[in-house]
Structure 1
Amino acid sequence: MGRGRLERNGGGIVLLVIGSAVVVALIWAVRLGISVRRREAPTPRPQEQPRLPDSGPVREVREMREPDEVPRAQNPGERLTHHQLNGHSRSTSKRSDDQSRPRRSPGSSGSFGAGGPGHS
């Protein structure tokens, strides 16, 4: 009879130790976060915030580009590395003379699985 009571109390002690360890870990984590935050640079003041240029906001440019031709390998089974490509794999396309955007065909859904009759 006394042994069962001892086991129940032993389980309570284990839970108390685990709970205390969790509380200590949380306190340590908060103190660590506070010390890291103190070492960081302060947030910029309103006068230090970035400002718009005098010309106003920068707009995106939409234009059609012509792709750069990809060179062919000398041997049929050979692969080209990025060092062998024009411009060392930088985008070297140029502005296209024709700036009209290609439109999809009439009767086409415009994407896969969007319904519509499609082409057959």
Structure 2
Amino acid sequence: MSTEWVHFAAERSALVGLWAILMGVLVVGMLGGAFWLGNRIRNREPRRPRPEEQPHLPDGGPVREEQVNLVPDEITQSRLRLTPYQVHGNMGSRPSPAKRRPRWSRGSSGGFGSGGLGAH
């Protein structure tokens, strides 16, 4: 083995070490730039609300859920076929006099394609 090969190998390992250091400095510089840019963007955002500006509960306490059973209004019979834009004019729904909620058939989830056998 000649001495030239040994010098070349030593120079090559020094270049590899220098390359690793340069890449490390580049990564640290990019992370620092991202942190600086993130701070600039955050400083342009509106400030966070103070505690006294936060929403408060109403005087009567928390609002409760209200359940109402609705019954659809009947569609008037017509000789012509009605399209959806003709139906919605004065059609709507009204509260149901029944207090029990309608349920699906026993043993059925009520969903199409739910994997069950369905109502038989």
Q: Which band: TM-score by shorter chain?
A: 0.5 to 0.7
Could you tell me which residue of structure 1 aligns to residue 78 of structure 2? none
Instruction: Give ranges in structure 1 of 5+ residues lacking alignment.
Output: 74-79
The aligned runs of 1:45-64 (5 Å cut-off) are: 45-64=50-69
Segments of structure 2 that go 5 or more residues without pairing to the other structure are: 1-5, 76-80
**2:94 aligned residue:** 95
Equivalences for residues 1-120 of structure 1 within 5 A: 1-67=6-72, 72-73=82-83, 84=85, 86=88, 93-97=92-96, 98-106=98-106, 108=107, 110=109, 112=114
CA distance in 2, matches of 1:32, 1:103: 56
How far apart are 1:93 and its partner, in Å? 4.0
Higher-Rg structure is 2
Report the number of matched residues: 103
TM-score normalised by length of structure 2: 0.61
- RMSD of equivalent CA atoms: 3.2
Instruction: Give the Cα–Cα distance (whole angstroms) in 1 for the partners of residues 92 and 9 of structure 2.
Output: 82
Q: Secondary structure at the match of 2:37?
A: helix
Identity of aligned residues (%): 35
- For residues 14 and 72 of structure 2, the distance between their equivalents in structure 1, rounded to whole angstroms, comes to 77
